[in-house]
Amino acid sequence: MPRSSRSIDPRAESPGSEEGSAAVEFVLVGVLLLAPLVYLILALGLVQGQSLGAEAAARHIARAVSTARDADDARARADAVLDAVSAEYGLDDVDLAIDCDPAAACPSAGATLHVRVRAVVALPLVPAILDLDRMAAIPVEASAAHKVSRYWSER
């Protein structure tokens, strides 16, 4: 009986063969899973960058205000630092609150400054239709405390 090199599998020569479809399925599933993963990494990067900016703003504003000569200088320093940090980190819609403990004139000798910075992170690729961009925004908040020198005085 002569041996043949032909395959005896009837599916191997059929016109509807699925040869190579595994690669197509792998690429399709890979893209479907990779797209949300890339979006998640992008969104988390934006949130992390904004939180670092809010923390830097709170810390630097507390230091700048605690070394100011008077209340007007403190206000000017806080605005200058907030503008610089907002430009550096791309902070938008920033809310700044400065409180003193005890609640005397701020800054005052021996007082503790409490600075709170709040920003809102807009997620990428969220349309402005029906306020979806506002609903999908993530608030980020940072606070810092700094003690004013007990030898501080208005000059």
- The predicted structure's pLDDT at residue 119: 93
pLDDT for position 18: 63
Say if residues 119 and 94 touch (Cβ distance below 8 Å).
Answer: yes
Q: Give this prediction's pTM.
A: 0.74
Structure tokens at 32: 């479907």
Residue 51 confidence (pLDDT): 95
Whole-number pLDDT of residue 80: 95
pLDDT of residue 124: 85
pLDDT for 107 equals 78
> What is the phi/psi pair of residue 112, to 5°?
-110, 125
Residue 152 has phi, psi (to 5 degrees) of -65, 140
pLDDT of residue 83: 94
Q: Give the pLDDT confidence score for residue 127 in this predicted structure.
A: 82
Condensed to tens digits (0 to 9), the pLDDT of residues 7-59 reads 555 555 555 566 667 788 888 888 888 888 999 999 999 999 999 999 999 99
The tens digit of pLDDT for each residue in 51-90 reads 999 999 999 999 999 888 888 888 999 999 999 999 999 8
Share of the chain above pLDDT 70, in %: 84
Domains of the chain by residue range: 23-147
Q: Kindly give the interhelix angle for 21-66 and 71-89, rounded to the nearest 10 degrees.
A: 170
What phi, psi does 140 have (nearest 5°)? -125, 135
Mind giving me the DSSP string for 43-108?
HHHHHHHHHHHHHHHHHHHHHHHHT-SSHHHHHHHHHHHHHHHHHHHT--S-EEEEEEES-SSSS-
Q: How far apart are CA 128 and CA 150, in angstroms?
A: 50
For residue 155, what is the DSSP state? -
